[in-house]
Amino acid sequence: MSPAVFGIGIPVLLILIIIISNIKIVPQARAAVIERFGTYLATWQTGLHLKAPFIDRMSELISLKEQVVDFAPQPVITKDNVTMQIDTVVYFQITDPMLYTYGVEHPMQAIENLTATTLRNIVGDLELDQTLTSRDTINAQMRVILDEATDPWGIKVNRVELKSIIPPREIQDAMEKQMKAERERREAILRAEGEKRSAILVAEGQKESVILRAEGDKQSAILRADAVREAKIREAEGEAEAIRKVQEAVAIGIVKINEANPTDKAVLLKSYETLAKVADGKATKIVIPSDLQSLAGLTTIIKELASDKVEE
């Protein structure tokens, strides 16, 4: 290689090296702050860029993704003079790389101090119970205040969360006793309601049992009355049937007597037999009519009755 060619190649090579070294690629979700002679020049977004050699430099390569920072617990005094430890979590995002670079020195430390002072101001107006039950309110108030305060720094605060609230040990003991008493009270109420419900169910069961027993007794009495009535009806029907059969037997006997055409002596003898049956050994005195002719009249009457019965 001739000296002339070698002399030309070295400067060209140096120029290529300088150009390649000044080609910059900004990754996704990143932004680069460029300075020229120490003064802000531009903000490079994602892509390929070429900076002027020796006069431009990349000051910061900043992430545009949402970031999370967890701050250590801070001592906070409530309105009723209770000191507690509260740690916070802040979700933020850089929206203006230039303001973030030149707006404040040590942005994270600034956000931490701002968070602590804001938290003390808000909780200082609340009592202990309100602090424990108003997390959402405190979170919302802190987010608004921090977002407004960090806006000149090119930072947007998206969310603020109270990670934990730690009251003093004696307050925790008192709260545990209170919660235990509350649980015992609820347990006693539930037990009393259960016993009340059980007593009501037992009383309703006894009431239903008495009603069913009364209904059963009533139905049983009705059935017994029906049975007694049916028995009396059957008994009356039996007596009527017996009387009817006796009458039929008497009528048949009279008819038989009439057909036999008995003599007066037979009738007289039958009358004596009838008197003997009437006495049946129980009568102490039997009156026998002295006029026996009346017995003959009795025979005539029996014959007439027999004749009437046959005609019927």
| Whether residue 8 is found in the same domain as residue 39 | yes
| Whether residue 151 is found in the same domain as residue 78 | yes
* pLDDT value of position 69: 92
| Whether residue 206 is found in the same domain as residue 116 | no
Torsion angle, CA of 272/274/279/281, rounded to 10 degrees?
A: 90
What are residue 207's DSSP bridge partners?
Answer: none
Residue-wise pLDDT for 156-189, tens only, equals: 999 999 988 888 888 778 777 888 888 888 888 9
CATH number (domain holding residue 103): 3.30.479.30
State which of 63, 85, 107 marks the end of a domain: 63
Enumerate the H helices of the chain as residue ranges. 3-21, 97-102, 107-123, 128-133, 135-150, 169-260, 264-279, 293-311
Contacts of 62 (CB under 8 A, 6+ apart): 30, 31, 32, 33, 94, 97, 100, 101
* pLDDT value of position 273: 57
* pLDDT value of position 306: 47
In order of 114, 161, 163, 300, the CA distances from 90 in angstroms are 11, 7, 10, 142
State which of 167, 186, 218 marks the end of a domain: 167
Backbone angles phi, psi at 53, to 5 degrees: -70, 145
State which of 19, 40, 63 marks the end of a domain: 63
| Whether residue 212 is found in the same domain as residue 271 | no
What is the distance between the alpha carbons of residues 9 and 3, in angstroms, rounded to a whole number?
10
| Whether residue 255 is found in the same domain as residue 269 | no
Number of folded domains in the chain? 4
Residue ranges of the chain with pLDDT lower than 70?
Answer: 1-7, 246, 250, 253-312
Which amino acid does the sequence have at 149?
Answer: A
For residue 34, the SS3 value is: strand
| Whether residue 221 is found in the same domain as residue 311 | no
| Whether residue 72 is found in the same domain as residue 130 | yes
| Whether residue 53 is found in the same domain as residue 107 | no
| Whether residue 226 is found in the same domain as residue 272 | no
Closest CA to 85 of 113, 109, 120, 50: 120
What are residue 94's DSSP bridge partners?
Answer: 155
| Whether residue 295 is found in the same domain as residue 208 | no
| Whether residue 192 is found in the same domain as residue 253 | yes
What is the distance between the alpha carbons of residues 15 and 53, in angstroms, rounded to a whole number?
10
Give the other-Cβ count within 10 Å of 132's Cβ: 15
For residue 31, the SS3 value is: strand
Domain, as residue range, for 18: 3-63
| Whether residue 184 is found in the same domain as residue 116 | no
Closest CA to 86 of 2, 9, 4, 165: 165
What are residue 61's DSSP bridge partners?
Answer: 32
* pLDDT value of position 310: 44
